[in-house]
Amino acid sequence: MAKQRVLSGVQPTGNLHLGNYLGAIRNWVEGQSQFENFFCVVDLHAITAPHDPKTLAQDTYTIAALYLAAGIDLQYSTIFVQSHVPAHSELTWLLNCITPLNWLTDMIQFKEKSVRQGENVNTGLLDYPVLMAADILLYQADQVPVGEDQKQHLELTRDIAARFNHLFATPEAPVLKQPHPLIRPEGARVMSLTDGTRKMSKSDPSDQSRINLLDTPEQIQYKIKRCKTDPIRGLEFDNPDRPECHNLLTLYMVLSGKSREEVARECQDMGWGQFKPLLTEATIAALAPIQAKYQEIMSDRGYLESVLRTGREKAEAVANETLAQVKAALGYSKPL
């Protein structure tokens, strides 16, 4: 039986942090041998918010290198850049024309981001989920590993596929496959170091709120030393009054590879002064091999370029096939 197909992506906006890694990329790596995987750097999504043209290309390379450094294996996975495959933009347009406007204005992420961006809300921000649907549907993906916050966008993708098939295909021969979200509860929600009720986020203005994959040991130590805690002695999971405590224990559990029971037992009588060095050490140790690999990859630009060239070719072969089917179903004439 053919392997199920997986597609996912991360935006090249600045650096990746622990939330991106634990919530997404680590899960991609763990599951990759079971699937046929496509992992893209979604640089078209990156310009839905104000961006810096001087750093976009470099940030794109950084994310691709971090995919490799985190353990994405080219034997099972294809790594490519979204803007290198024009089919993404083209399918977005075609899907725009079958997507009711109110499906997009109802998206939670659009509502939140448009409040934050104030008067500068561009059409791309509204259309963001249709581009994401195009990313997924072009590859006929079965599974889409994402964080909890992307669940609504996955449901929208399913709705768009169903609507397209209903309007332009038959139940016996659907053109687009409905994908399933693959959401892992462990580590799916890594919270901010400065507020345990908010997600760790690239858009938080304070760098102190997150640990970046490329932070130095000194930066990691400093951030953990100063992170928000509470005055209670004895650490525990799941106490709703202690969100920071739950978040930091979870981070420790995931980064050290210990079980929940082990961590709960180990930390039940600890104070923060005892716990923080343990978390610091586990974090530094977990990131060290990724950082070493990253440096190695970034020092060989030719290698990274060849990975992205091969990735683009493999991605295009699949994407163009779907795009041709979609255009045929819509009744377009063939280009001459």
The residue ranges that bind ligand TRP (CB under 6 A) are 7-9, 11, 42, 45, 132, 135-136, 144, 146, 150, 153
Measured from the CB atom, the residue of 138 and 253 that comes closer to ligand TRP is 138
Q: Smallest distance from the beta carbon of 124 to ligand TRP, in angstroms? A: 13
Give residues with Cβ within 8 angstroms of 119, minimum separation 6: none
List % helix, strand, coil for the chain (3-state, nearest 5).
Answer: 60, 10, 35
Q: Smallest distance from the beta carbon of 46 to ligand TRP, in angstroms? A: 10
> In this structure, which long-range contacts are made by residues 228-236, counting pairs with CB atoms below 8 Å and at least 24 apart in sequence?
228/193, 228/194, 228/195, 228/196, 229/272, 233/269, 233/270, 233/271, 234/268, 234/269, 234/270, 234/271, 235/267, 235/268, 235/270, 235/272, 235/275, 236/264, 236/267, 236/268
Q: Is 202 a catalytic residue?
A: yes
Q: Smallest distance from the beta carbon of 139 to ligand TRP, in angstroms? A: 9
CA 257 – CA 300 distance, rounded (Å) = 31
| Rg (the chain; Cα; Å) | 21
Measured from the CB atom, the residue of 42 and 211 that comes closer to ligand TRP is 42
Q: Smallest distance from the beta carbon of 13 to ligand TRP, in angstroms? A: 9
Measured from the CB atom, the residue of 136 and 287 that comes closer to ligand TRP is 136
Measured from the CB atom, the residue of 78 and 150 that comes closer to ligand TRP is 150
Measured from the CB atom, the residue of 82 and 229 that comes closer to ligand TRP is 82
Q: Is 199 a catalytic residue?
A: yes
Q: Smallest distance from the beta carbon of 195 to ligand TRP, in angstroms? A: 20
> In this structure, which long-range contacts are made by residues 292-297, counting pairs with CB atoms below 8 Å and at least 24 apart in sequence?
293/68, 293/69, 294/65, 294/66, 294/69, 294/213, 294/214, 297/65, 297/68, 297/69
SS (H, E, C) 134-178: HHHHHCCCCEEECCHHHHHHHHHHHHHHHHHHHHHCCCCCCCCCC
202, 228, 258, 314: the catalytic one is: 202
Measured from the CB atom, the residue of 62 and 150 that comes closer to ligand TRP is 150
From the list 20, 8, 90, 60, the residue with the least C-alpha distance to 307 is: 60
Q: Smallest distance from the beta carbon of 51 to ligand TRP, in angstroms? A: 15
From the list 90, 135, 144, 113, the residue with the least C-alpha distance to 330 is: 90
Q: Is 327 a catalytic residue?
A: no
**DSSP assigned state of 197:** T
**What residues are annotated to the active site?**
113, 199, 202
